Amino acid sequence: MSTRWNTGIMRLLIVGCAVGLFFVAAPATRADDDSDIAIDTADSSTILNSGMDPGVLETTVDDKSKCKDAGGCVTVKGSVKNDTPTAIYALVEYNTKTCAFIASGTWKQVEAPKEGKLSTTTEKGHLKSGKCKTTEYEFGVLVYTADAKKTPAKDTFEAVWTTPDFPKSCPKCQIEVKGEITIEAK
């Protein structure tokens, strides 16, 4: 077995395991106790089926008392390949009683990366759990593409996801995402 093949298999195994962590700790919030509006992340197969690189990423929910956004904040840490679009985070707003899609939301860049660029797209997929997990939704996806002149390199960025319902009918429909990324050779 060649070293290159062995390395590829190991990366595939690591990526497969890491994708399971990709959306594990995502905030699933409701606008308030009486509301039928919720936001949530996609299951890992949504990103795997998107054709984008899932990177080797781990997401953690930050302490809400330290978040400036009512919906919370998350930090995404891990590694990505240089010059390869990587799905960082995906969110959707939906109705918890009817499972109706409400919005994919929009991403706004707060702090630009220095070693790459942020872009957005939408991907169809399912929620990771809950009553509506069999319903297909269109998620708003934050994408990071590294463009480091020398690898390995480190990069950070910050973006905010929000929906048209924020803040009036969904005061928690705004989430801050921070990225702390290591860029590897392609």
Q: What is the pLDDT of residues 61-93, one digit of tens each?
A: 888 888 888 889 999 999 999 999 999 999 999
pTM: 0.81
Which of 60, 35, 22, 58 lies closest to 139 in space, CA to CA?
A: 22
Give the per-residue pLDDT at 23. Answer: 39
Question: How many Å apart are CA 20 and CA 9, to the nearest integer?
Answer: 17
Give the per-residue pLDDT at 34. Answer: 52
Tokens of 20: 């399971």
Give the per-residue pLDDT at 62. Answer: 87
Q: Which domain holds residue 10?
A: 3-184
Tokens of 70: 């009512």
Domain count, the chain: 1
- Burial letters 2-35, b for 16+ CB under 10 A, else e: eeeeeeeeeeeeebeebbeebbeebbbbebeeeb
Least trusted range by pLDDT, from 17-31, 81-95, 162-176: 17-31
Say which amino acid occupies 100.
A
DSSP 17-34: HHHHHHTTT---EESSTT
Query: Roughly how many angstroms between the first and final C-alpha of the chain, as a whole number?
Result: 21
Q: Is the pLDDT of residue 7 over 70?
A: no
